[in-house]
């Protein structure tokens, strides 16, 4: 009798969860949500399966997910095997021509196809793309700017074949979404002269979100979100507050590209940007469909 009652309570809990989801199902139906997929969620088997099922669920209930993936750990692993040192400045990978070839091999030839296969295996209908397909992502060379040591002028640093997005060919993505496909994009692009660039996946996600007038952008990371100076999670931040945290170096290193990508998405008209912990099962669903959400939400202002 006690066991039956416990099972009943579990069913009631599930019903309450579904009831909480209803307003969000109405709000986001027919809308586009861009998800940057990276970190442990791309490595641990149970998290990979969970992500594939979550993205498939979003599509089946009428939301249009677009996935942009990273692949930093996989790239670093292969570089190490080839005895090539990984170097970063301000969270950005220095990419010479040899490194670029490996980046393309890993992102386009390995990681992208694994994600597509995983989603399709779990009931989705995913299509893999690189930014070079159909001129999806046009880019130009990116330079890192660091505060100058002795002047107010920033120090300009060349980090190799690293690009920044100049335009997104949304016609390809709109065609796929109308056909009920889930686009999965590897973050490489090229310029009009055919030069290939490695592009930070967070920035690609931001550019795609802005171009597609997405309802929100969600960045999956290996962090719980943005932390304050005492190490506590900040649930909501305005852009102006975030800039102050960057200036005071509370936000630094690998978190810098993520908040910068959030700024870019917000400036392009995306209403909300989220940095969440991809190590938590079903983190994207929890962010989209629950009242509290998780991680850090960044807003204009």
Residues 12-45 pLDDT 10s = 455 566 667 788 888 999 999 999 998 888 888 9
> Domain 30-299 adopts which CATH fold?
Carbamate kinase (3.40.1160)
Other CB atoms within 10 A of residue 40 CB: 16
At residue 290, the pLDDT reads 79
The alpha carbon dihedral of 128, 133, 138, 140 has a sign of positive
Instruction: Write the pLDDT tens digit of every residue in 175-205.
Output: 999 999 999 999 999 999 999 999 999 999 9
* C-alpha to C-alpha distance for 223 and 4, rounded to whole angstroms: 39
> Do 42 and 221 meet the contact criterion of CB atoms below 8 Å apart?
no
Sequence-distant (≥ 6) Cβ neighbours of residue 65 within 8 angstroms: 32, 33, 34, 35, 55, 58, 59, 182
**DSSP state at residue 132:** T
* C-alpha to C-alpha distance for 293 and 280, rounded to whole angstroms: 12
Give the start-to-end residue ranges of the domains of the chain. 30-299
At residue 293, the pLDDT reads 67
> Do 107 and 187 meet the contact criterion of CB atoms below 8 Å apart?
yes
Q: Provide the β-strand partners of residue 158.
A: 143
Position 215 confidence tier, pLDDT thresholds 50, 70, 90? very high
Q: Provide the β-strand partners of residue 66.
A: 34
Token pair of 145, please? 């700017």
The backbone region for 64, taken as left when phi is positive above 0, alpha when psi lies in -120 to 50, beta otherwise, is beta
Instruction: Write the pLDDT tens digit of every residue in 234-275.
Output: 999 999 999 999 988 899 877 888 999 999 999 999 999 999
Task: Say if residue 146's pLDDT is above 80.
Answer: no
* C-alpha to C-alpha distance for 273 and 88, rounded to whole angstroms: 25
At residue 6, the pLDDT reads 58
């Amino acid at each position: 009798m006690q066991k039956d009652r416990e099972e009943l309570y579990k069913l009631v809990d599930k019903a309450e969860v579904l009831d909480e989801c209803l307003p969000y199902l109405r709000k986001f139906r027919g809308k586009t949500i861009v998800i940057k997929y990276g970190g442990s969620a791309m490595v641990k088997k149970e998290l990979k399966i969970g992500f594939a099922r979550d993205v498939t669920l979003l599509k089946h209930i009428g939301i249009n997910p677009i996935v942009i993936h990273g692949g930093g750990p996989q790239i670093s692993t292969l570089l190490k095997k080839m005895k090539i040192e990984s170097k970063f400045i301000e969270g950005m990978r220095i990419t010479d021509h040899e490194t670029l070839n490996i980046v393309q091999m890993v992102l386009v030839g390995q990681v992208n196809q694994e994600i597509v296969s995983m989603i399709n295996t779990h009931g989705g209908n995913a299509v893999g793309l690189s930014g070079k397909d159909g001129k999806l992502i046009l880019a130009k060379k990116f330079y890192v700017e660091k505060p100058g040591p002795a002047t107010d002028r920033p120090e300009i640093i060349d980090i190799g074949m690293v690009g920044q997005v100049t335009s997104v060919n949304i016609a390809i993505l709109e065609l796929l979404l109308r056909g009920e496909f889930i686009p999965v994009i590897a973050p490489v692009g090229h310029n009009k002269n055919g030069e290939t660039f490695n592009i930070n996946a967070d920035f690609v996600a931001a550019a795609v979100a802005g171009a597609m007038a997405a309802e929100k952008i969600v960045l999956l990371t290996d962090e719980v979100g943005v932390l304050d100076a005492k190490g506590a999670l900040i649930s909501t931040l305005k852009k102006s507050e975030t800039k102050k945290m960057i200036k005071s170096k509370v936000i630094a290193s690998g978190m810098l590209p993520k908040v910068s990508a959030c700024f870019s998405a917000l400036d392009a008209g995306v209403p909300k940007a989220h940095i969440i912990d991809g190590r938590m099962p079903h983190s994207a669903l929890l962010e989209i469909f629950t009242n509290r959400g998780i991680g850090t939400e960044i807003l204009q202002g």
